[in-house]
Structure 1
Amino acid sequence: MLNKAIVLVFLAGFLILSMSCRKDFDYSSSQGDLTFSKDTVYLDTIFSNIGSSTYSLTVYNRSKEDVIIPSIRLEKGNKSNYRLNVDGSAGKSFTNVPLFARDSLYIYIEITIDIENNSENSLLYTDVIQFDSGSNQQNIPLVTLVKDATFLYPGTNTDGTKETITLSTDANGNEIKVQGFVLDDDHLNFLNDKPYVIYGYAVVPEGKVLVINAGVRVHFHQNSGILIQDGGVISINGVLSEDEELLNGEVIFEGDRLEPQFSDIPGQWGSLWIAKGSQGNTINHLTLRNANIGLFVEGDDVLDSPTLYIKNSQFYNSATYNLFANGASIAAENVVIGSAGISSLHCQLGGNYTFVHSTIANYWNKGFRNTSTIVISNYNLLNPNEASDLIKADFKNCIIDGINDFELSLLTDNQNAFEFNFMNCFLKFSSTEGQLTNPLFDFESSNNYSNLILNGQTDFFNPYLDDFRIGLDSDVVNAGDSNVASTLPLDILGKERSSNADLGAYQAASKE
């Protein structure tokens, strides 16, 4: 019995030992027959010194045997600007990586590169991930386009903190400070030779003018923007683009992430902020997208001359508002104000506004929205005791549309002036008995409404992708006032308006 027990213990120990070693014995070296999810990894375009997104490559072992990959490495080794993470381990070179039969492993890839110190002196940076070596070696190229740019950012204080500026004050009068800096005279004329990347808020101070020339691209880091202070001015001088896809003449404001997956992510940067006391600002052929508040304009209680002139410009995909005016004076022509998380256009605390041949439409599909496309009030919605006269809110030959039932909100304190007029406009407004009893929405009143198209078909090309061109089947075709149209003989794309002009910023076109 004793001998039998010894034999059983010996056999059990041998079995345990065999099982513990089996993993090592069962692996064989890969024979160059790995397969991959991509034959080349393109990391899209990045700016110099700004890290990329994380990209992935999947490696497959489609054989029936567990294998060991002797080496996975970057061809340029430690000098490579790429970074790898192989199955949870970070580095640039890995050895003896196991891969089970009919299994896969993930490789994650990132890059940061300083274009000025790039010894290859090329905007196209490449490397290769090498699997194994010799006759079994397999290669996956890595390709990244690196853009040079002019970087503008806050300085560093003596205590190591970043320079700050006062952006505004809170309800208690306390200063709200953010990272920012005052633009010096050398940076008050943006040229189109290379893009600009702004960190923090770039400030245009009193007595200075920021001139942005045609074709300029301005990219903002998170929580960054431009602040035009009291007495400062911005002049954005885009022109009609020869190429509608490249927008070569347009000035473009957007975030600093160039990868395609960031092309329609709202809230990537702060705002273009025109502060109280700034007058005579001009914007022509600007496309602004993916901000928190796209354009924030404060008035100065003197509304005889516009705070801001806007022409031929487009505002899209802001997390809250595309255009927020606070007691301001704005004159806008051929403007498209598209989808936003709260309202496309918000005018509060009175003001003086004129919108001509403008398309204001909110097809927000990134979350729930219960506010109207346009909100106009003569008081501060957060502090109703703060109110001022709405001298004028005129909309001529415009489109006001969206996916909600009521895309216009008019709010008055019944004490201060509240003057508004919609002339030859399309309005999305599915009336109810409660709305009809509100005198502000008496659409039969010639004092406030004339030649109104209430509801109907706008026939936008693709409003969910911010394409607010109109098709030939739209109810707004030939619905414009000819006298108004004669003051704007060209639409936002430079197309001639006939005597029977269409409503909105675009003349109708075939979708073919």
Structure 2
Amino acid sequence: MKSFLYTFSALVLVLLASSCRKDLEFDNYTDRLEFSKDTVYLDTVFTNIGSSTYNLKVYNRSDNAITIPSIRLGLGQDSEYRLNVDGIAGREFENVEMLAKDSMFIFIETTIDINNLPNSNNEFLYTDVIEFNTGITSQKVDLVTLVKDAVFIYPDRDNTTGVIETLSLNIGGETVETDIQGRYLLPEELVFTNEKPYVIYGYAAVPNNETLLVEAGARIHFHADSGILVAEGASLRVQGYFSEDAELMENEVIFEGDRLEPLFSDVPGQWGTIWLFEGSVNNEIHHATIKNGSVAILSDGNPNEVNEKLKLTNTQIYNSSNYGILGRNTSITGENVVINYSGLSSFAGTLGGKYRFTHSTIANYWNNSFRQFPSVLLNNFQEDGNGTLYLADLTEASFNNCIIYGNDNPEIILDEVVDSAVVFNFRFNHCLIRFDDPTNAFDGPNYDFGDTNHYIGNQYNDDPVFRDPYNNDMIIGDNSGAINLGDSDFANEVPNDILNVSRTVAPDAGAYQHTSF
């Protein structure tokens, strides 16, 4: 009996082994492959900057295992594309095996130098194909990439040590060494035109007593941990403007990250900040969109300048992982400013300062994580690492005909350290504000909405009816609580909304007059 069992078991093993060997016998390839797509679009890349990794799925629908004699790029080893097939990188592959009813991924990347391409200009459509060949039959999948030329600004790197150049700042007549990677712009780099995009690595610093002029239609892209730094005595002038003709090239200026793929179009925190250093003067930003930074604008110092340190008009700020605008004892005015989707506050005026926003929409519909800060934060202090408080005057913080709203509550916090030596002046005029305090957690005098020294003609907790706030569409609709809320005196100061619609008759609060949608 035991002998019979051994004989039976051996027979079963032989049959199983025979079955496995048959499944692993690979037939010659015939035209039986299917693909997840017939064209792989690798989206837009800058010259010499690597793309994201894209994939193509290949299916063997047959009942037999097969061998594909050749998978290769049409341009062979000269192709600017790179493949990874079954974990192996290259441009040409032979005898690739696929099991019956199985599939495999092919991963595709590219890094293209537009200067090596024939007849290239500022944009070039680069194409190739992936060929699946037997010598008898052939199948192809197209590869397409739009390549853009750009002006690259980056710090030097020591060839021996690999150390990247850092900035030395002149502060109050003294040279201070920093660990900020970057370099000062050269005289011939102090005008950013709209002819090519600009790609900045590290911080592009505007030298002392110089001005960086950014012309209408310019596109500025920042690499990770990069930005613009405006040094003492220097200025930033962004000169976008509104165009009535939608067919013309957009004349706003755009600041964003250097990843052009749609996947990165709304990802916060891709770059650093536009840093208006203490002592920089007469900074102006007109008709700009600033998105996907850590702190879109950081403004330090100079709260008592005759002319505000920063003037913003018709500017949109979105998707900041920390603050949309962070002012630290500084002076800022804003007209038709729209800020939304910030990891902390959309606007924070800290350590006092002087701020005036008119017909602006300062909202926060952040939903990437829990948010602890309101849309608008004002305070008059700063605490160092040892717990020491430094106080400064909040000379003015006025919000006129504004919307201050979001998906949290409340959306304003007035965090004052009371001290007779400093002032804390603020006023909300004819604003739509989200502030609901059912537990009376905010019961100090700063939250007395009946105090006309601080609150005049405001409306609370009415829905502004934004069209799509989670996608940064902050236009208000027919049933908005902001309709006709604005005071005509402030509307006369800013007679057109951010879309150039007149608001001198029955002005709405916020940066937009309402519309039907």
Equivalent-residue separation in structure 1 for 2:335 and 2:398 (angstroms): 12
The yes-or-no answer on 1:370 pairing with 2:376 is no
Equivalent-residue separation in structure 1 for 2:248 and 2:437 (angstroms): 41
Task: Kindly provide the amino acid, as one letter, of the partner of residue 393 in structure 1.
Answer: A
Q: Which residue of 2 aligns with 1:143?
A: 144
User: How do residues 350-361 of structure 1 correspond to structure 2 at under 5 angstroms?
Assistant: 350-361=352-363
Q: Which residue of 1 aligns with 2:198?
A: 196
Select which of 452, 462, 477 maps to 2:458. 452
Tell me, yes or no, if the aligned pair for 2:215 and 2:240 is still in contact at 8 Å: yes
The yes-or-no answer on 1:480 pairing with 2:482 is no
Select which of 465, 468, 488 maps to 1:462. 468
Q: Unmatched 5+ residue regions in structure 2?
A: none
Equivalent-residue separation in structure 1 for 2:170 and 2:246 (angstroms): 38
Task: Kindly provide the amino acid, as one letter, of the partner of residue 199 in structure 1.
Answer: Y
Equivalent-residue separation in structure 1 for 2:349 and 2:455 (angstroms): 19
Tell me, yes or no, if the aligned pair for 2:383 and 2:389 is still in contact at 8 Å: no
Q: Which residue of 1 aligns with 2:258?
A: 256
Q: Unmatched 5+ residue regions in structure 1?
A: none
The yes-or-no answer on 1:502 pairing with 2:503 is no
What is the DSSP-based 3-state SS (H/G/I as helix, E as strand, rest coil) of the residue aligned with 1:186? Answer: helix
Instruction: Give the CA deviation at 1:304.
Output: 3.4
Task: Kindly provide the amino acid, as one letter, of the partner of residue 228 in structure 2.
Answer: I
Task: Kindly provide the amino acid, as one letter, of the partner of residue 179 in structure 2.
Answer: K
Between Structure 1 and Structure 2, the one with more strand by share is 2
Task: Kindly provide the amino acid, as one letter, of the partner of residue 397 in structure 2.
Answer: A
Instruction: Give the CA deviation at 1:371.
Output: 1.2
Q: Which residue of 2 aligns with 1:47?
A: 46
Tell me, yes or no, if the aligned pair for 2:166 and 2:178 is still in contact at 8 Å: no
Task: Kindly provide the amino acid, as one letter, of the partner of residue 437 in structure 2.
Answer: S
Equivalent-residue separation in structure 1 for 2:372 and 2:399 (angstroms): 23
Select which of 346, 364, 389 maps to 1:385. 389
Select which of 233, 236, 241 maps to 1:234. 236
Q: Which residue of 2 aligns with 1:402?
A: 406
1:420-475 superposed Cα distances (whole Å, 9 cap, x missing partner)? 00000010001234345211010000000000101111010000000101011101
Instruction: Give the CA deviation at 1:135.
Output: 3.9
Equivalent-residue separation in structure 2 for 1:354 and 1:275 (angstroms): 20
CA 1:242 to 1:138, structure 2 compared with 1: closer, same or farther past 3 Å? farther
1:365-418 superposed Cα distances (whole Å, 9 cap, x missing partner)? 111112111100011155661110000000000000001110001011111210
Select which of 334, 342, 365 maps to 1:340. 342
CA 1:17 to 1:363, structure 2 compared with 1: closer, same or farther past 3 Å? closer
Equivalent-residue separation in structure 2 for 1:246 and 1:221 (angstroms): 28
Tell me, yes or no, if the aligned pair for 1:348 and 1:381 is still in contact at 8 Å: no
The yes-or-no answer on 1:413 pairing with 2:402 is no
The yes-or-no answer on 1:302 pairing with 2:304 is yes
User: How do residues 10-409 of structure 1 correspond to structure 2 at under 5 angstroms?
Assistant: 18=18, 21-24=21-24, 26-119=25-118, 121=120, 123-157=124-158, 159=160, 160-166=162-168, 176-242=178-244, 248-380=250-382, 385-409=389-413
Tell me whether 316-325 or 160-169 shows the greater mean CA deviation: 160-169
1:120-151 superposed Cα distances (whole Å, 9 cap, x missing partner)? 63700000000124442100000000001111
Task: Kindly provide the amino acid, as one letter, of the partner of residue 389 in structure 1.
Answer: D
1:55-103 superposed Cα distances (whole Å, 9 cap, x missing partner)? 0000011111111111111010110010001121111111111111111
Task: Kindly provide the amino acid, as one letter, of the partner of residue 149 in structure 1.
Answer: A
Tell me, yes or no, if the aligned pair for 1:436 and 1:442 is still in contact at 8 Å: no
> For the aligned residues, what is the CA RMSD?
2.6
CA 1:459 to 1:247, structure 2 compared with 1: closer, same or farther past 3 Å? farther
Tell me, yes or no, if the aligned pair for 1:303 and 1:352 is still in contact at 8 Å: no
Instruction: Give the CA deviation at 1:166.
Output: 4.8
CA 1:312 to 1:245, structure 2 compared with 1: closer, same or farther past 3 Å? farther
Tell me whether 176-185 or 143-152 shows the greater mean CA deviation: 176-185
User: How do residues 4-15 of structure 1 correspond to structure 2 at under 5 angstroms?
Assistant: none
CA 1:304 to 1:18, structure 2 compared with 1: closer, same or farther past 3 Å? same
Tell me whether 305-314 or 111-120 shows the greater mean CA deviation: 111-120
Task: Kindly provide the amino acid, as one letter, of the partner of residue 404 in structure 1.
Answer: D
Tell me, yes or no, if the aligned pair for 1:392 and 1:419 is still in contact at 8 Å: yes
TM-score by length of 2: 0.93
Instruction: Give the CA deviation at 1:247.
Output: 7.0
Q: How many residues align?
A: 506
TM-score by length of 1: 0.93
Tell me whether 490-499 or 276-285 shows the greater mean CA deviation: 490-499
Tell me, yes or no, if the aligned pair for 1:54 and 1:110 is still in contact at 8 Å: yes
Equivalent-residue separation in structure 1 for 2:223 and 2:78 (angstroms): 28
Equivalent-residue separation in structure 1 for 2:277 and 2:15 (angstroms): 80
Tell me, yes or no, if the aligned pair for 2:329 and 2:352 is still in contact at 8 Å: yes
Tell me, yes or no, if the aligned pair for 1:242 and 1:248 is still in contact at 8 Å: no
* Identity %, equivalent residues: 45
Equivalent-residue separation in structure 2 for 1:473 and 1:384 (angstroms): 48
What is the DSSP-based 3-state SS (H/G/I as helix, E as strand, rest coil) of the residue aligned with 1:474? Answer: coil
CA 1:21 to 1:425, structure 2 compared with 1: closer, same or farther past 3 Å? same
1:267-316 superposed Cα distances (whole Å, 9 cap, x missing partner)? 10010000000111111001000001110000135343311111000100
Equivalent-residue separation in structure 2 for 1:329 and 1:244 (angstroms): 34
What is the DSSP-based 3-state SS (H/G/I as helix, E as strand, rest coil) of the residue aligned with 1:78? Answer: helix
Instruction: Give the CA deviation at 1:484.
Output: 0.8
Equivalent-residue separation in structure 1 for 2:299 and 2:461 (angstroms): 30
Task: Kindly provide the amino acid, as one letter, of the partner of residue 471 in structure 2.
Answer: L
Equivalent-residue separation in structure 2 for 1:113 and 1:384 (angstroms): 53
What is the DSSP-based 3-state SS (H/G/I as helix, E as strand, rest coil) of the residue aligned with 2:167? Answer: strand
Equivalent-residue separation in structure 1 for 2:9 and 2:436 (angstroms): 85
1:237-275 superposed Cα distances (whole Å, 9 cap, x missing partner)? 000144669971110000000000000111100100000
